[in-house]
Structure 1
Protein backbone atom coordinates (compact mmCIF):
# COMPACT_ATOMS: atom_id res chain seq x y z
CA UNK A 1 0.00 0.00 0.00
CA UNK A 2 2.82 2.43 0.95
CA UNK A 3 4.71 1.63 -2.23
CA UNK A 4 1.63 2.48 -4.30
CA UNK A 5 1.29 5.86 -2.61
CA UNK A 6 4.97 6.63 -3.19
CA UNK A 7 4.62 5.77 -6.87
CA UNK A 8 1.51 7.89 -7.37
CA UNK A 9 2.85 11.00 -5.65
CA UNK A 10 5.39 11.95 -8.33
CA UNK A 11 2.80 11.33 -11.05
CA UNK A 12 0.39 13.74 -9.37
CA UNK A 13 3.11 16.38 -9.13
CA UNK A 14 3.82 16.06 -12.85
CA UNK A 15 0.42 17.63 -13.60
CA UNK A 16 1.02 20.91 -11.81
CA UNK A 17 0.60 24.12 -13.79
CA UNK A 18 4.30 24.80 -14.17
CA UNK A 19 5.01 21.17 -15.11
CA UNK A 20 2.27 21.32 -17.76
CA UNK A 21 3.78 24.49 -19.20
CA UNK A 22 7.37 23.30 -19.32
CA UNK A 23 6.41 19.91 -20.74
CA UNK A 24 4.35 21.43 -23.57
CA UNK A 25 5.87 21.93 -27.00
CA UNK A 26 6.73 25.42 -28.25
CA UNK A 27 3.37 26.03 -29.94
CA UNK A 28 1.35 25.30 -26.80
CA UNK A 29 3.85 27.28 -24.72
CA UNK A 30 3.39 30.26 -27.04
CA UNK A 31 -0.41 29.98 -26.74
CA UNK A 32 -0.20 29.83 -22.96
CA UNK A 33 2.17 32.81 -22.84
CA UNK A 34 -0.08 34.89 -25.10
CA UNK A 35 -3.12 34.08 -22.98
CA UNK A 36 -1.28 34.94 -19.76
CA UNK A 37 -0.23 38.30 -21.24
CA UNK A 38 -3.80 38.97 -22.40
CA UNK A 39 -5.14 38.20 -18.92
CA UNK A 40 -2.66 40.54 -17.23
CA UNK A 41 -3.35 43.21 -19.86
CA UNK A 42 -7.11 43.05 -19.32
CA UNK A 43 -6.66 43.48 -15.56
CA UNK A 44 -4.31 46.43 -16.11
CA UNK A 45 -6.77 48.14 -18.47
CA UNK A 46 -9.70 47.50 -16.13
CA UNK A 47 -7.90 48.91 -13.08
CA UNK A 48 -6.69 51.96 -15.03
CA UNK A 49 -10.15 52.69 -16.47
CA UNK A 50 -11.86 52.13 -13.13
CA UNK A 51 -9.53 54.59 -11.38
CA UNK A 52 -9.89 57.14 -14.19
CA UNK A 53 -13.69 56.88 -14.18
CA UNK A 54 -13.85 57.06 -10.39
CA UNK A 55 -11.76 60.23 -10.43
CA UNK A 56 -13.86 61.72 -13.25
CA UNK A 57 -17.09 61.02 -11.38
CA UNK A 58 -15.78 62.63 -8.19
CA UNK A 59 -14.65 65.74 -10.08
CA UNK A 60 -17.96 65.88 -11.96
CA UNK A 61 -19.90 65.79 -8.70
CA UNK A 62 -17.80 68.62 -7.29
CA UNK A 63 -18.13 70.65 -10.51
CA UNK A 64 -21.91 70.27 -10.71
CA UNK A 65 -22.41 71.21 -7.06
CA UNK A 66 -20.34 74.36 -7.56
CA UNK A 67 -21.81 75.23 -10.96
CA UNK A 68 -25.42 75.09 -9.77
CA UNK A 69 -24.72 76.70 -6.39
CA UNK A 70 -25.69 80.18 -7.61
CA UNK A 71 -22.17 81.52 -7.99
CA UNK A 72 -21.48 84.19 -10.61
CA UNK A 73 -20.30 83.20 -14.08
CA UNK A 74 -17.09 85.15 -13.60
CA UNK A 75 -16.28 83.20 -10.44
CA UNK A 76 -16.99 79.87 -12.14
CA UNK A 77 -14.91 80.89 -15.14
CA UNK A 78 -11.96 81.81 -12.94
CA UNK A 79 -12.07 78.54 -11.00
CA UNK A 80 -12.89 76.02 -13.71
CA UNK A 81 -12.39 77.43 -17.20
CA UNK A 82 -9.02 79.16 -16.86
CA UNK A 83 -7.18 75.93 -16.17
CA UNK A 84 -9.63 73.09 -16.85
CA UNK A 85 -8.51 69.79 -15.31
CA UNK A 86 -11.48 67.48 -15.87
CA UNK A 87 -13.99 66.74 -18.66
CA UNK A 88 -16.78 68.94 -17.26
CA UNK A 89 -14.43 71.90 -16.88
CA UNK A 90 -13.11 71.45 -20.42
CA UNK A 91 -16.64 71.30 -21.83
CA UNK A 92 -17.44 74.46 -19.87
CA UNK A 93 -14.31 76.19 -21.21
CA UNK A 94 -15.19 75.18 -24.79
CA UNK A 95 -18.71 76.59 -24.36
CA UNK A 96 -17.42 79.91 -23.00
CA UNK A 97 -15.40 80.50 -26.16
CA UNK A 98 -18.69 80.66 -28.10
CA UNK A 99 -20.81 82.31 -25.40
CA UNK A 100 -21.11 85.79 -26.88
CA UNK A 101 -22.62 86.94 -30.17
CA UNK A 102 -25.44 85.88 -32.44
CA UNK A 103 -26.73 82.30 -32.38
CA UNK A 104 -24.74 81.71 -29.20
CA UNK A 105 -26.86 78.74 -28.19
CA UNK A 106 -26.23 76.91 -31.45
CA UNK A 107 -22.50 77.62 -31.40
CA UNK A 108 -22.20 76.65 -27.75
CA UNK A 109 -24.05 73.43 -28.47
CA UNK A 110 -21.62 72.51 -31.24
CA UNK A 111 -18.50 73.47 -29.27
CA UNK A 112 -19.58 71.81 -26.03
CA UNK A 113 -20.82 68.71 -27.84
CA UNK A 114 -17.56 68.34 -29.75
CA UNK A 115 -15.51 68.69 -26.58
CA UNK A 116 -17.74 66.22 -24.75
CA UNK A 117 -17.18 63.73 -27.57
CA UNK A 118 -13.41 64.13 -27.31
CA UNK A 119 -13.49 63.65 -23.55
CA UNK A 120 -15.60 60.51 -23.84
CA UNK A 121 -13.25 59.12 -26.48
CA UNK A 122 -10.38 59.53 -24.04
CA UNK A 123 -12.27 57.72 -21.31
CA UNK A 124 -13.31 54.94 -23.70
CA UNK A 125 -9.76 54.24 -24.87
CA UNK A 126 -8.82 50.70 -23.87
CA UNK A 127 -12.35 49.31 -23.86
CA UNK A 128 -11.88 48.12 -27.42
CA UNK A 129 -8.90 46.04 -26.30
CA UNK A 130 -11.00 44.50 -23.52
CA UNK A 131 -13.62 43.53 -26.09
CA UNK A 132 -10.91 42.03 -28.33
CA UNK A 133 -9.49 39.98 -25.47
CA UNK A 134 -12.94 38.82 -24.43
CA UNK A 135 -13.80 37.63 -27.93
CA UNK A 136 -10.44 36.20 -29.05
CA UNK A 137 -9.02 34.53 -25.93
CA UNK A 138 -11.36 31.48 -26.04
CA UNK A 139 -10.41 30.82 -29.67
CA UNK A 140 -6.71 31.13 -28.92
CA UNK A 141 -7.20 28.69 -26.05
CA UNK A 142 -9.13 26.39 -28.38
CA UNK A 143 -6.20 26.42 -30.79
CA UNK A 144 -3.93 25.30 -27.93
CA UNK A 145 -6.46 22.60 -27.09
CA UNK A 146 -6.53 21.25 -30.64
CA UNK A 147 -2.74 21.29 -30.83
CA UNK A 148 -2.43 19.46 -27.50
CA UNK A 149 -4.86 16.76 -28.65
CA UNK A 150 -2.89 16.40 -31.88
CA UNK A 151 0.21 15.84 -29.76
CA UNK A 152 -1.63 13.12 -27.87
CA UNK A 153 -2.51 11.32 -31.10
CA UNK A 154 1.07 11.65 -32.30
CA UNK A 155 2.27 10.10 -29.04
CA UNK A 156 -0.16 7.22 -29.52
CA UNK A 157 1.03 6.69 -33.10
CA UNK A 158 4.70 6.86 -32.13
CA UNK A 159 4.45 4.45 -29.19
CA UNK A 160 1.59 2.34 -30.55
CA UNK A 161 0.22 2.39 -27.06
CA UNK A 162 -3.16 3.73 -25.93
CA UNK A 163 -2.22 3.62 -22.28
CA UNK A 164 -3.54 6.58 -20.29
CA UNK A 165 0.01 7.50 -19.27
CA UNK A 166 0.80 8.16 -22.95
CA UNK A 167 -2.36 10.14 -23.72
CA UNK A 168 -2.85 12.05 -20.47
CA UNK A 169 -0.01 14.62 -20.75
CA UNK A 170 -1.18 15.92 -24.12
CA UNK A 171 -4.79 16.06 -22.97
CA UNK A 172 -3.76 17.88 -19.79
CA UNK A 173 -1.84 20.45 -21.84
CA UNK A 174 -4.87 20.89 -24.09
CA UNK A 175 -7.24 21.43 -21.17
CA UNK A 176 -4.80 23.83 -19.51
CA UNK A 177 -4.75 25.96 -22.68
CA UNK A 178 -8.55 26.02 -22.66
CA UNK A 179 -8.60 27.03 -18.99
CA UNK A 180 -6.17 29.88 -19.64
CA UNK A 181 -8.34 31.06 -22.53
CA UNK A 182 -11.38 31.21 -20.26
CA UNK A 183 -9.32 32.81 -17.48
CA UNK A 184 -8.44 35.64 -19.85
CA UNK A 185 -11.86 35.97 -21.52
CA UNK A 186 -14.32 35.82 -18.61
CA UNK A 187 -12.87 38.70 -16.55
CA UNK A 188 -12.45 40.76 -19.73
CA UNK A 189 -16.17 40.34 -20.51
CA UNK A 190 -17.13 41.32 -16.97
CA UNK A 191 -14.79 44.33 -16.99
CA UNK A 192 -16.02 45.48 -20.41
CA UNK A 193 -19.70 45.28 -19.47
CA UNK A 194 -19.23 46.95 -16.08
CA UNK A 195 -17.06 49.77 -17.42
CA UNK A 196 -19.34 50.33 -20.42
CA UNK A 197 -22.37 50.66 -18.14
CA UNK A 198 -20.60 53.10 -15.83
CA UNK A 199 -19.20 55.08 -18.73
CA UNK A 200 -22.66 55.24 -20.31
CA UNK A 201 -24.04 56.90 -17.19
CA UNK A 202 -21.16 59.37 -17.10
CA UNK A 203 -21.58 60.13 -20.82
CA UNK A 204 -25.27 60.90 -20.31
CA UNK A 205 -24.39 63.40 -17.56
CA UNK A 206 -21.66 65.07 -19.64
CA UNK A 207 -23.83 65.35 -22.74
CA UNK A 208 -26.72 66.62 -20.63
CA UNK A 209 -24.45 69.30 -19.20
CA UNK A 210 -23.47 70.36 -22.73
CA UNK A 211 -27.17 70.71 -23.60
CA UNK A 212 -27.78 72.75 -20.45
CA UNK A 213 -24.96 75.12 -21.39
CA UNK A 214 -26.54 75.60 -24.80
CA UNK A 215 -29.89 76.43 -23.16
CA UNK A 216 -28.24 78.89 -20.78
CA UNK A 217 -26.49 80.63 -23.68
CA UNK A 218 -29.81 80.88 -25.50
CA UNK A 219 -31.51 82.45 -22.47
CA UNK A 220 -28.70 84.93 -21.87
CA UNK A 221 -28.61 85.79 -25.58
CA UNK A 222 -32.35 86.37 -25.52
CA UNK A 223 -31.94 88.75 -22.64
Structure 2
Protein backbone atom coordinates (compact mmCIF):
# COMPACT_ATOMS: atom_id res chain seq x y z
CA UNK A 1 0.00 0.00 0.00
CA UNK A 2 1.41 3.37 -1.04
CA UNK A 3 1.87 5.91 1.75
CA UNK A 4 2.05 9.66 1.26
CA UNK A 5 5.41 10.63 2.77
CA UNK A 6 4.81 14.39 2.53
CA UNK A 7 4.38 16.40 5.70
CA UNK A 8 0.63 16.82 5.16
CA UNK A 9 0.23 13.17 4.26
CA UNK A 10 2.10 12.00 7.34
CA UNK A 11 0.05 14.36 9.51
CA UNK A 12 -3.23 12.88 8.30
CA UNK A 13 -1.91 9.35 8.77
CA UNK A 14 -0.78 10.03 12.34
CA UNK A 15 -2.76 8.89 15.34
CA UNK A 16 -5.12 11.30 17.08
CA UNK A 17 -2.71 11.94 19.95
CA UNK A 18 0.22 12.65 17.63
CA UNK A 19 -1.96 15.02 15.62
CA UNK A 20 -2.86 16.82 18.83
CA UNK A 21 0.84 17.10 19.76
CA UNK A 22 1.68 18.51 16.32
CA UNK A 23 -1.14 21.06 16.45
CA UNK A 24 -0.12 22.04 19.98
CA UNK A 25 3.47 22.61 18.88
CA UNK A 26 2.36 24.65 15.87
CA UNK A 27 0.21 26.80 18.17
CA UNK A 28 3.10 27.27 20.59
CA UNK A 29 5.41 28.23 17.73
CA UNK A 30 2.95 30.80 16.36
CA UNK A 31 2.39 32.22 19.84
CA UNK A 32 6.12 32.44 20.54
CA UNK A 33 6.75 34.29 17.25
CA UNK A 34 3.99 36.75 18.13
CA UNK A 35 5.68 37.37 21.49
CA UNK A 36 9.09 37.67 19.81
CA UNK A 37 7.83 40.33 17.41
CA UNK A 38 6.07 42.20 20.22
CA UNK A 39 9.01 42.12 22.65
CA UNK A 40 11.44 43.15 19.93
CA UNK A 41 9.30 46.19 19.17
CA UNK A 42 8.89 47.08 22.87
CA UNK A 43 12.61 46.81 23.68
CA UNK A 44 13.63 48.81 20.62
CA UNK A 45 11.15 51.55 21.56
CA UNK A 46 12.42 51.57 25.16
CA UNK A 47 16.05 51.85 24.02
CA UNK A 48 15.23 54.68 21.61
CA UNK A 49 13.18 56.57 24.20
CA UNK A 50 15.86 56.22 26.88
CA UNK A 51 18.63 57.39 24.55
CA UNK A 52 16.58 60.43 23.51
CA UNK A 53 15.67 61.39 27.07
CA UNK A 54 19.20 60.88 28.39
CA UNK A 55 20.56 63.12 25.65
CA UNK A 56 18.03 65.82 26.56
CA UNK A 57 18.69 65.42 30.29
CA UNK A 58 22.44 65.91 29.94
CA UNK A 59 22.08 68.78 27.46
CA UNK A 60 21.89 71.24 30.38
CA UNK A 61 18.14 71.80 30.29
CA UNK A 62 16.55 73.16 33.49
CA UNK A 63 15.16 70.29 35.54
CA UNK A 64 11.96 72.17 36.38
CA UNK A 65 11.31 72.80 32.69
CA UNK A 66 12.07 69.19 31.85
CA UNK A 67 9.68 68.04 34.55
CA UNK A 68 6.91 70.28 33.23
CA UNK A 69 7.40 68.85 29.75
CA UNK A 70 7.22 65.32 31.12
CA UNK A 71 4.24 66.13 33.31
CA UNK A 72 2.29 67.38 30.29
CA UNK A 73 2.32 63.83 28.89
CA UNK A 74 2.51 61.88 32.14
CA UNK A 75 0.26 59.10 30.82
CA UNK A 76 2.69 58.25 28.01
CA UNK A 77 6.01 58.19 29.84
CA UNK A 78 8.25 55.14 29.88
CA UNK A 79 11.65 53.99 30.96
CA UNK A 80 14.17 56.56 32.07
CA UNK A 81 11.80 59.49 31.67
CA UNK A 82 9.23 57.79 33.92
CA UNK A 83 11.89 57.29 36.59
CA UNK A 84 12.87 60.95 36.33
CA UNK A 85 9.26 62.08 36.52
CA UNK A 86 8.47 59.94 39.56
CA UNK A 87 11.62 61.00 41.38
CA UNK A 88 11.36 64.71 40.69
CA UNK A 89 7.65 64.79 41.54
CA UNK A 90 8.32 63.18 44.92
CA UNK A 91 11.33 65.45 45.46
CA UNK A 92 9.25 68.60 44.86
CA UNK A 93 6.44 67.35 47.09
CA UNK A 94 8.73 66.45 49.99
CA UNK A 95 10.89 69.54 49.56
CA UNK A 96 7.83 71.77 50.01
CA UNK A 97 6.75 69.91 53.14
CA UNK A 98 7.80 71.75 56.24
CA UNK A 99 9.86 69.92 58.81
CA UNK A 100 11.46 67.51 56.36
CA UNK A 101 15.20 67.04 56.66
CA UNK A 102 17.37 66.83 53.56
CA UNK A 103 18.05 63.15 54.18
CA UNK A 104 14.32 62.40 54.55
CA UNK A 105 13.63 64.18 51.26
CA UNK A 106 16.29 62.17 49.46
CA UNK A 107 15.16 58.88 51.02
CA UNK A 108 11.61 59.44 49.82
CA UNK A 109 12.79 60.50 46.37
CA UNK A 110 15.05 57.48 46.03
CA UNK A 111 12.29 55.07 47.09
CA UNK A 112 9.93 56.58 44.55
CA UNK A 113 12.47 56.13 41.77
CA UNK A 114 13.23 52.59 42.91
CA UNK A 115 9.54 51.65 42.69
CA UNK A 116 9.31 53.23 39.24
CA UNK A 117 12.42 51.35 38.13
CA UNK A 118 10.96 48.04 39.30
CA UNK A 119 7.74 48.68 37.40
CA UNK A 120 9.56 49.58 34.21
CA UNK A 121 11.72 46.45 34.35
CA UNK A 122 8.66 44.33 35.10
CA UNK A 123 6.98 45.77 32.03
CA UNK A 124 10.01 44.99 29.88
CA UNK A 125 10.15 41.42 31.19
CA UNK A 126 6.50 40.78 30.34
CA UNK A 127 6.07 37.59 28.24
CA UNK A 128 9.68 36.52 28.71
CA UNK A 129 8.76 33.75 31.19
CA UNK A 130 6.35 32.33 28.61
CA UNK A 131 9.10 32.32 25.98
CA UNK A 132 11.34 30.47 28.41
CA UNK A 133 8.57 27.96 29.10
CA UNK A 134 7.96 27.29 25.42
CA UNK A 135 11.68 26.94 24.81
CA UNK A 136 12.09 24.44 27.62
CA UNK A 137 9.02 22.21 27.22
CA UNK A 138 8.53 22.10 23.43
CA UNK A 139 11.24 19.45 22.81
CA UNK A 140 9.73 17.22 25.49
CA UNK A 141 6.24 17.57 24.06
CA UNK A 142 7.62 16.67 20.64
CA UNK A 143 9.52 13.75 22.12
CA UNK A 144 6.34 12.51 23.76
CA UNK A 145 4.60 12.53 20.37
CA UNK A 146 7.55 10.69 18.84
CA UNK A 147 7.60 7.99 21.50
CA UNK A 148 3.86 7.50 21.19
CA UNK A 149 4.00 7.31 17.41
CA UNK A 150 6.89 4.83 17.33
CA UNK A 151 5.19 2.71 19.97
CA UNK A 152 2.06 2.52 17.83
CA UNK A 153 4.13 1.70 14.75
CA UNK A 154 5.82 -1.25 16.45
CA UNK A 155 2.54 -2.46 17.95
CA UNK A 156 1.04 -2.50 14.47
CA UNK A 157 4.16 -4.22 13.14
CA UNK A 158 3.82 -6.98 15.72
CA UNK A 159 0.32 -7.81 14.50
CA UNK A 160 1.47 -8.93 11.03
CA UNK A 161 3.32 -12.11 10.14
CA UNK A 162 5.72 -10.63 7.59
CA UNK A 163 7.12 -7.25 8.52
CA UNK A 164 8.92 -4.93 6.12
CA UNK A 165 10.50 -1.48 6.26
CA UNK A 166 7.76 -0.09 4.04
CA UNK A 167 5.20 -0.96 6.68
CA UNK A 168 6.96 0.70 9.62
CA UNK A 169 8.63 3.65 7.85
CA UNK A 170 5.55 5.93 7.61
CA UNK A 171 4.73 5.46 11.30
CA UNK A 172 8.29 6.22 12.37
CA UNK A 173 8.49 9.20 10.00
CA UNK A 174 5.30 10.77 11.31
CA UNK A 175 6.51 10.24 14.85
CA UNK A 176 9.86 11.89 14.20
CA UNK A 177 8.11 14.91 12.74
CA UNK A 178 6.79 15.64 16.24
CA UNK A 179 10.35 15.91 17.56
CA UNK A 180 11.33 18.16 14.66
CA UNK A 181 8.35 20.41 15.33
CA UNK A 182 9.26 20.54 19.01
CA UNK A 183 12.73 21.78 18.12
CA UNK A 184 11.26 24.19 15.58
CA UNK A 185 9.16 25.76 18.34
CA UNK A 186 11.87 25.67 21.01
CA UNK A 187 14.97 27.01 19.24
CA UNK A 188 13.62 30.48 18.27
CA UNK A 189 12.02 30.85 21.70
CA UNK A 190 15.28 30.07 23.52
CA UNK A 191 17.33 32.38 21.27
CA UNK A 192 14.81 35.20 21.68
CA UNK A 193 14.60 34.72 25.46
CA UNK A 194 18.38 34.96 25.85
CA UNK A 195 18.57 37.97 23.55
CA UNK A 196 15.71 39.82 25.21
CA UNK A 197 16.95 39.00 28.71
CA UNK A 198 20.29 40.56 27.81
CA UNK A 199 18.50 43.60 26.39
CA UNK A 200 16.39 44.02 29.52
CA UNK A 201 19.48 43.70 31.72
CA UNK A 202 21.26 46.44 29.74
CA UNK A 203 18.26 48.75 29.98
CA UNK A 204 17.90 48.05 33.70
CA UNK A 205 21.59 48.84 34.20
CA UNK A 206 21.15 52.11 32.32
CA UNK A 207 18.06 52.99 34.35
CA UNK A 208 19.88 52.24 37.61
CA UNK A 209 22.88 54.35 36.61
CA UNK A 210 20.63 57.25 35.68
CA UNK A 211 18.78 56.93 38.97
CA UNK A 212 22.03 57.14 40.93
CA UNK A 213 23.29 60.10 38.92
CA UNK A 214 19.97 61.92 39.21
CA UNK A 215 19.93 61.24 42.96
CA UNK A 216 23.37 62.79 43.25
CA UNK A 217 22.18 65.92 41.46
CA UNK A 218 19.14 66.25 43.70
CA UNK A 219 21.26 65.53 46.76
CA UNK A 220 23.56 68.44 45.90
CA UNK A 221 20.58 70.72 45.29
CA UNK A 222 18.97 69.71 48.57
CA UNK A 223 22.06 70.34 50.64
CA UNK A 224 22.88 73.58 48.88
CA UNK A 225 19.39 74.89 49.65
CA UNK A 226 18.36 75.32 45.98
CA UNK A 227 15.04 74.08 44.46
Fold similarity call, TM over 0.5: yes
Question: Does structure 1 residue 32 correspond to structure 2 residue 22?
Answer: yes
Aligned-partner Cα distance in 2 for 1:71–1:96: 14
Question: Does structure 1 residue 74 correspond to structure 2 residue 64?
Answer: yes
Aligned-partner Cα distance in 1 for 2:72–2:213: 20
Partner of 2:45: 55
**Secondary structure of the corresponding residue to residue 98 of structure 1:** helix
Does the CA contact (< 8 Å) of 1:134 and 1:188 recur in 2? yes
Aligned-partner Cα distance in 2 for 1:179–1:221: 62
Partner of 2:143: 142
Encode CA deviations 1:140-184: one digit per residue, 9 max, x unaligned: 001001001111112112223321121111100111000000001
Aligned-partner Cα distance in 2 for 1:97–1:72: 15
Question: In terms of mean alpha carbon deviation, does 60-69 or 75-84 score higher?
Answer: 75-84
2:86 to 94, 100, 113: 94
When residues 82 and 213 of structure 1 are mapped into structure 2, their CA distance, relative to the original with a 3 A threshold, is farther
Aligned-partner Cα distance in 2 for 1:131–1:160: 47
Q: Unmatched 5+ residue regions in structure 2?
A: none
Q: TM-score, normalized by length of structure 2?
A: 0.90
Does the CA contact (< 8 Å) of 1:131 and 1:189 recur in 2? yes
Q: TM-score, normalized by length of structure 1?
A: 0.91
Aligned-partner Cα distance in 2 for 1:208–1:139: 41
RMSD: 1.5
When residues 106 and 164 of structure 1 are mapped into structure 2, their CA distance, relative to the original with a 3 A threshold, is same
Encode CA deviations 1:196-215: one digit per residue, 9 max, x unaligned: 11111111001111222221
Question: Does structure 1 residue 121 correspond to structure 2 residue 122?
Answer: yes
Count of matched residue positions in the alignment of Structure 1 and Structure 2:
213
1:45 deviation in Å? 0.6
1:114 deviation in Å? 0.9
Does the CA contact (< 8 Å) of 1:82 and 1:93 recur in 2? no
Aligned-partner Cα distance in 2 for 1:97–1:161: 83
Question: Does structure 1 residue 17 correspond to structure 2 residue 4?
Answer: no
1:121 deviation in Å? 0.2
Aligned-partner Cα distance in 2 for 1:218–1:77: 17
Hey, which bits of structure 1, 4+ residues long, moved more than 4 A? none
Aligned-partner Cα distance in 2 for 1:115–1:200: 16
1:80 deviation in Å? 1.7
